[in-house]
């Protein structure tokens, strides 16, 4: 059928023409022309001939108008079809890398089953690879969002150069999915290594040579028994497991990964309930003034025992709180409990409290801390906030503003885990600290390594030069204590003095320590 008649209006026009031809044939057969001629002759004096002419001309004009209208409608339909195709492409593709997105994957792949007509494209098995970039946020902070976009475009080109471009999808900010066809188990591993090598090569952007890592998880599609979506989910689980092991790791999916995720989900649900019920409590480890031997403070450490009596390590539940956004609620609740406990101590004893790197991204952190202090009646001068070096590099300007607000209110600030983070000397030069805490990894081994001993000596010397008090963490032996006193350490912390204890035991500990000091 000609294009002219593919539209509804065209078909209607064809029907009208057919009806007209039929009526003409019927009229010719029945002698309608003779009757019409007689009618015109009989009523000529009334203008019947002119009426018939007008009707003919009107019919012809109507037919021409209909044809023109059909052509116009056809043009509009074509424009609409092109606009719809463009909108569909926009909805199914990432605007930056031009790769198909998650919606395209769900709509065009997940619901498709291979058939005999698919040919070479679906020949053999299908392996799903999930790729997540490591360190992308730091690069983004270094070279700006435009530079980060340029990096993503280059990474996508490198991935497409390895895998078929039609089988590469961008699922999120820095997450990609690849479908590889017909790979053996050994080839899957080689393909993962090749992806890491391609992604991690330096990329020159605005004069900077930047690098990112890659974490990769993969799994094979069992097309006869499941949707491809299930395979993509397992590859995603494997990718997160690889990411937890450090940058540039790749792992094939194993069932234990699913169990781990289920355990974590269960723990997350328990954590939410525990925060609501205030079941997570602060325990306190003493800080000893090495000049006097008396207690000068307690560091609050979070402890959680669930309803089954199982003790959950802080490194586990605090990490979950940070990832799920529960850290602010947990922090405020623990700080409030610790402030109330600190009011039972002597006024000379300070409360040390840790702030996680995630919290330093909160521009209202200082206001939150001061609000909790005010609500619980603890003077700001009795609080010491401990911040790790890694927490300062995410947003230096914001970190400086937070520290300034805390200092202005009278809160002390300690640089925790000194020597283990980024550019320790730079942090001391940029920010103002009241104390530096030397990480226990130095204290445990410095006597066995001459170079490390020199580093520890330099740390204490740096503290004296800057008039900043120094705390040694992880003191467990009297020999360590004796050496640290000789080096000029101000404050000691570790199992040699006392393990973390519940609030009700702190007052008795202070009394005993005072008695020991007096007896000594």
Burial of 341-380, coded b for 16+ CB within 10 Å and e otherwise, reads bbeebeeebbbbbbbbbbbbebeebbeebbebbeebebeb
307 burial level (CB within 10 Å; 0-12, 13-18, 19+) = exposed
E-only strand ranges, 399-495: 412-418, 435-438, 469-472, 491-492
Residue 402 near residue 434, CB atoms below 8 Å? no
Q: Which residues pair with 220 in a beta bridge?
A: 127
Strand bridging mode 295-305 / 203-205: unpaired
Residue 425: Cβ within 10 Å count? 8
For residues 263 and 168, what is the distance between their CA atoms, to the nearest angstrom? 31
For residues 44 and 51, what is the distance between their CA atoms, to the nearest angstrom? 10
For residues 128 and 219, what is the distance between their CA atoms, to the nearest angstrom? 6
Residue 258 near residue 237, CB atoms below 8 Å? yes
Can you say whether the dihedral through the CA atoms of 456, 457, 462, 464 is positive or negative? positive
| Token pair 């520890």: residue | 456
For residues 321 and 143, what is the distance between their CA atoms, to the nearest angstrom? 30
- Three-state DSSP class for residue 262: helix
Give the residue among 432, 438, 394 at the shortest CA–CA distance from 413: 432
Strand bridging mode 311-312 / 295-305: antiparallel
For residues 99 and 191, what is the distance between their CA atoms, to the nearest angstrom? 20
φ, ψ for residue 171, nearest 5 deg: -90, -25
Annotated catalytic, 76? no
Q: Which of 332, 473, 477, 505 is catalytic?
A: 473
Query: Which residues are within 8 A (CB) of 6 and not within 5 positions of it... i.e. 6 or more apart?
Result: 74
Query: Which residues are within 8 A (CB) of 95 and not within 5 positions of it... i.e. 6 or more apart?
Result: none
Tokens, residue 325: 């956004």
For residues 250 and 243, what is the distance between their CA atoms, to the nearest angstrom? 8
108: left (phi over 0), alpha (psi -120 to 50) or beta: alpha
For residues 246 and 1, what is the distance between their CA atoms, to the nearest angstrom? 63
For residues 302 and 335, what is the distance between their CA atoms, to the nearest angstrom? 10
Residues with a catalytic annotation lie at 473
């Amino acid at each position: 059928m000609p294009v002219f008649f593919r539209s509804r209006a065209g078909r209607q026009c064809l029907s009208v023409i057919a009806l007209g031809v039929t009526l003409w044939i019927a009229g010719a057969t029945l002698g309608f022309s003779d009757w019409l001629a007689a009618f015109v002759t009989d009523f000529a004096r009334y203008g019947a001939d002119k009426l018939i002419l007008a009707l003919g001309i009107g019919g012809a004009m109507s037919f021409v108008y209909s044809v023109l209208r059909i052509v116009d409608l056809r043009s509009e339909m074509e424009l609409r079809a092109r606009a719809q195709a463009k909108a569909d492409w926009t909805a199914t593709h990432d605007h930056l890398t031009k790769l198909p997105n998650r919606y395209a994957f769900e709509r065009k792949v997940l619901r498709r089953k291979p058939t005999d007509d698919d040919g070479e494209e679906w020949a053999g098995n299908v392996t799903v690879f999930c790729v997540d970039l490591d360190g992308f946020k730091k690069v983004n902070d270094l070279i700006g969002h435009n530079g980060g976009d340029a990096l993503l475009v280059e990474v996508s080109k490198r991935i497409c150069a390895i895998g078929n471009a039609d089988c590469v999808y961008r699922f999120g900010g820095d997450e990609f999915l690849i479908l590889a066809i017909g790979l053996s188990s050994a080839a899957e591993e080689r393909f993962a290594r090749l992806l890491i090598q391609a992604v991690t090569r330096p990329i020159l952007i605005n004069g900077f040579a930047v690098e990112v890592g890659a974490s990769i998880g993969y799994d094979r599609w069992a097309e006869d028994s499941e949707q491809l979506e299930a395979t993509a989910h397992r590859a995603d689980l494997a990718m997160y497991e690889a990411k937890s092991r450090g940058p540039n790791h790749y792992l094939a999916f194993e069932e234990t990964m699913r169990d781990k995720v289920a355990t974590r989900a269960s723990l997350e649900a328990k954590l939410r309930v525990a925060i609501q019920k205030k079941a997570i409590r602060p325990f306190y480890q003493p800080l000893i003034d090495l000049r006097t031997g008396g207690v000068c403070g307690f560091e609050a450490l979070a402890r959680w025992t669930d309803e089954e009596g199982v003790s959950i390590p802080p490194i586990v539940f605090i990490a979950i709180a940070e990832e799920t956004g529960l850290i602010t609620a947990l922090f405020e609740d623990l700080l409030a409990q610790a402030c109330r406990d600190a009011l039972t101590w002597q006024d000379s004893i300070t409360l040390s409290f840790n702030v996680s790197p995630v919290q330093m991204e909160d521009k209202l952190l200082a206001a939150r801390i001061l609000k909790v202090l005010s609500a619980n009646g603890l003077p700001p001068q009795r609080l010491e906030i401990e911040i790790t070096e890694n927490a300062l590099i995410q947003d230096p300007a914001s970190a400086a503003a937070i520290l300034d607000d805390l200092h202005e209110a009278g809160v002390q600030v300690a640089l925790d885990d000194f020597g283990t983070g980024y550019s320790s000397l730079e942090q001391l030069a940029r920010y103002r600290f009241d104390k530096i805490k030397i990480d226990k990894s130095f204290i445990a081994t410095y006597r066995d390594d001459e170079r490390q001993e020199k580093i520890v000596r330099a740390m204490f010397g740096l503290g004296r030069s800057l008039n900043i008090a120094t705390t040694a963490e992880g003191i467990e032996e009297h020999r360590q204590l004796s050496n640290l006193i000789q080096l000029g350490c101000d404050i000691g912390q570790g199992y040699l003095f006392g393990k973390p204890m519940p609030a009700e035991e702190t007052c008795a500990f202070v009394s005993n320590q005072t008695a020991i000091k007096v007896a000594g």
